[in-house]
Chain A
Amino acid sequence: MTQRLAIDVAVGDGLGPVGPAKRPIEGRSPWRLAFERLRHDRVAIASSVVIVIIALMAIFAPVVAHLVGHGPNDQYRTTGLSPEGIPVGPNLRFLLGTDELGRDVMVRVFYGARISLLVGVVASSLAVSVGVVIGLMAGYFGRVVDTVLTRLMDVNLSLPYLVFAIALISVVGPSLLISIVVIAFFSFASVGRIVRGQVLSIKEKEYVEAARSLGASDVRIMFVDILPNVLAPVIVYLTLLIPLSIVFEATLSFLGLGVVPPTPSWGGMLASSIDYYQVAWWYVVFPGLGLLVTTLSFNLLGDSVRDAFDPRYNRFFGTTE
């Protein structure tokens, strides 16, 4: 409109412009509402606090190493091992004991948190990004695109992932990057299927038709009109995918296919502690505890996030009222 226009509507409904407000009235977005619910969820708060603590552990691992004076790969063969060559238990010098090479378990657990969080977050994000794009394309374009992409995801989901991972890594050689790629490769398909299902229902909505009648491009419709409506389940899935990826990485490291020694990782520490569990309980317990607490916190947070986005979902019975 080139000039300001006001048309008197015969039957007013009291919605007309009122006096000038001080500032625009802010609407409460569905995200905001979900966040508000999350803020009042004690489980969510507690698990977030634990996750933040673990993240701080990871970030400040070098500081801890500096404070106690032990590097993550430093071997203390005289002080860290008994005369028989057995790891020493927790004492004032080694707060959480040592491993079979006389390395400080505490420092190594802190460094292990870095690997777990890095792999967990990066691999899950990668999997979710790929899954969202593939799911959007499959659901939106339908027909041949859908058939091809869905079948590919079915094949992906039916692969025996561990066998495949072992085969791939024994060819390429283990590294942090290849672990991330393998984990993402075996996780994106389930995200893609969730997104595809949501898109199938959302693309029939009238607002998508409205966008099309305005001349919007396919890309715009997919990312501006459809994506925000499928994001809630995606975010829930992301928080639940992180602990899965952490466990996946620990599994690979446990099998010697993940992070290359001597870089400390929880899975790798658990693998080498197996031979010593009868004489050095601390060697098994502390990396295991790190893994347990981290995955448990992420899982509980994921449940809370799901509840926050879908208030009608019953956490205890798994039903929607």
Chain B
Amino acid sequence: MTVAAGTGRTTETGEPLLRAENVVKHFPLGSSSLFRRSRAVVHAVDDVTFDIRRGETLGLVGETGCGKSTLARCVARLFDLTSGRLVFDGHDISTLSRHQLRPYRRRIQMIFQDPYGSLNPRRRVGSIIGDPFAIHGIEEGGERKSKVQNLMELVGLNPEHYNRFPSEFSGGQRQRIGVARALALQPDLIVADEPVSALDVSIQAQVINLLAAVQSEFGLAYLFIAHDLSIVRHVSDRVAVMYLGKIVEIAGRHDLYTRPRHPYTKALQSAVPVPDPDLADKRRRIVLTGDVPSPIVPPRGCRFHPRCPKAQQRCSVEEPRLEPLAGDPPDHGVACHFPLADGEELPAGAVPPAGAFAPSAPSAPSDTLPAAP
């Protein structure tokens, strides 16, 4: 764990860098006009608890619409929490005012999904990357410019392109600009909201490697969000699986991929495309029936039970808690009444014919990523 000297930040690794406790985020639906107040809410994130340790990468996977991005924005405090606590480095930041949050803004940064939307098209790259300095009133004039150019060099951009506009860069280069901006204030935690899903597969690997390189350089922690399991597997130390606003399973990377306990995790893993066509034809593909239920009226009990092949009466009544099974490592939590045993297979649905459209999340072939370091 390397933390820059002289910043006065604590370096002990005992307590987690960030602890999210029972985080809830509901969005009220419809227009809350003066006269009618709508009662319906979208349960985007519902009672989510997790830790991020210093210097580690916590991967967060789930289908589109499961609340990943909302959770990310809650952690970055772009949204106010409906309830719950966020403890960052020993301080509760969940109820701080905008002004009180400013010192923490420097330590939690965000990388966005869309490399086109996240950079202001009317501003030069130099001033975009210099924004963190300008906003926090540090490093004036020439000093700031040289820092910005160092950052550009660090992320693999030509510092001479300081005066260019975002439209003059490719998608991968723009994402590097976003990374440089996030690194400027030497944060402790970077929330990366699908940082590579908008990029080409070959560019994805470059950006992922860049993120890994700066992590080992600065001892950063990442909350890394993706819907692509192979990428999350590559970058994460631990992985959390989200379904309909809840974490259904959280475990060390190796543990999660070799011994998935939750039926949803298992089904998600079976949807990862296999680059070998022969293997792809032979493997068992678990096709879940039905659609993701509405987050406005989430199912009672376990939220996965309407689609779960193992669901029983109890699942529709009692909500399972996220806790480790006997015999599993203590950091392997699963929220399931009937978790899978080692090597247990789910009853597979019909395997779609080879080449048919797979309704699962789009994902990159895993062989484009270099082996994990």
Q: Which of the residues B4, B112, B209 comes within 8 Å of A9, measured between beta carbons?
A: B209
Establish whether residues B213 and A7, one from each chain, have CB atoms under 8 Å apart when the complex forms. yes
Q: Does A205 contact B (CB under 8 A)?
A: yes
Once A5-B217, A7-B213 are accepted as A-B contacts, the answer to whether A214 and B135 lie under 8 Å apart by CB is yes
**CB neighbours of A9 from chain B (8 A):** 156, 206, 209-210, 213
Residue pair B112, A16 in contact (C-beta under 8 Å): no
Take A25-B161, A26-B163, A228-B123 as given contacts and tell me if A213 and B76 are in contact as well, using a CB distance cutoff of 8 Å: yes
Interface size on B, residues (CB 8 A): 61
Q: Which of A217-254 contact B (CB under 8 A)?
A: 217, 220, 224-225, 228-229, 231
Contact check, A6 vs B135: say whether CB atoms are below 8 A apart.
Answer: no
Size of the chain A interface, CB-CB below 8 angstroms: 42
Query: What separation, in Å, do the CA atoms of A261 and B363 have in the docked complex?
Result: 77
Query: Are A209 and B105 in touch, CB under 8 angstroms?
Result: no
CA distance A211 to B131 in the complex (A): 8
What's the nearest-Cβ distance from chain B to residue A132, in Å?
A: 15
Tell me the minimal C-beta distance from A7 to chain B in angstroms.
Answer: 4
CB under 8 Å from chain A, chain B span 103-134: 105-106, 108-110, 112-114, 117-125, 131-132
In the complex, how many angstroms separate the beta carbon of B319 from the nearest chain A beta carbon? 32
Q: Does A4 contact B (CB under 8 A)?
A: yes
Chain A, range 1-56, C-beta contacts under 8 Å to B: 1-2, 4-13, 15-18, 21, 24-30
Asked whether, in the complex, the Cβ of B173 is within 8 Å of the Cβ of A229, the reply is no
Minimum CB distance partner of B205 in chain A: A11
Closest to B32 in A: A143
Confirm or deny: B281 has a beta carbon within 8 angstroms of a beta carbon on chain A.
no
Cβ contact within 8 Å between B76 and A30: no
In the assembled complex, A83 has its CB within 8 A of some CB on chain B: no
**CB-contacts of A176-230 with B (<8 A):** 205-207, 209-217, 220, 224-225, 228-229
Known: A24-B163, A228-B123. A215 touches B153 (CB 8 A): no
Contacts of B314 in A (CB 8 A): none
The answer to whether B117 touches A207 (Cβ under 8 A) is yes
**Complex contacts, A231 vs chain B, CB 8 Å:** 122
- Tell whether A13 pairs with B122 under 8 Å between CB atoms, given A5-B154, A21-B160, A216-B131: no
How far is it, in angstroms, between the C-alpha of A214 and the C-alpha of B187 when the chains are bound?
Answer: 11
Contact A228-B122, Cβ < 8 Å, known A13-B203, A212-B78, A215-B135: yes
Contact present for B153 and A17 (CB under 8 Å): yes
Q: Is B165 an interface residue (CB 8 A)?
A: yes
Distance (whole angstroms) from the CB of B95 to the closest CB of chain A: 17
Q: With A and B bound together, what is the CA distance between A224 and B165 in angstroms? A: 15
- Give me the interface of B with A, judged by CB distance under 8 Å: 4, 73, 76-78, 101-102, 105-106, 108-110, 112-114, 117-125, 131-132, 135-136, 147, 150-151, 153-154, 156-165, 167-168, 172-173, 176, 178, 181, 186, 202-203, 205-206, 209-210, 213-214, 217, 370
9 A-B interface contacts by CB (under 8 A): A9-B206, A18-B158, A30-B122, A210-B110, A213-B76, A215-B102, A217-B135, A225-B123, A228-B123
**Assuming A210-B119, A216-B131, what are 5 further A-B pairs, CB within 8 angstroms?**
A9-B210, A15-B156, A206-B118, A213-B76, A216-B135
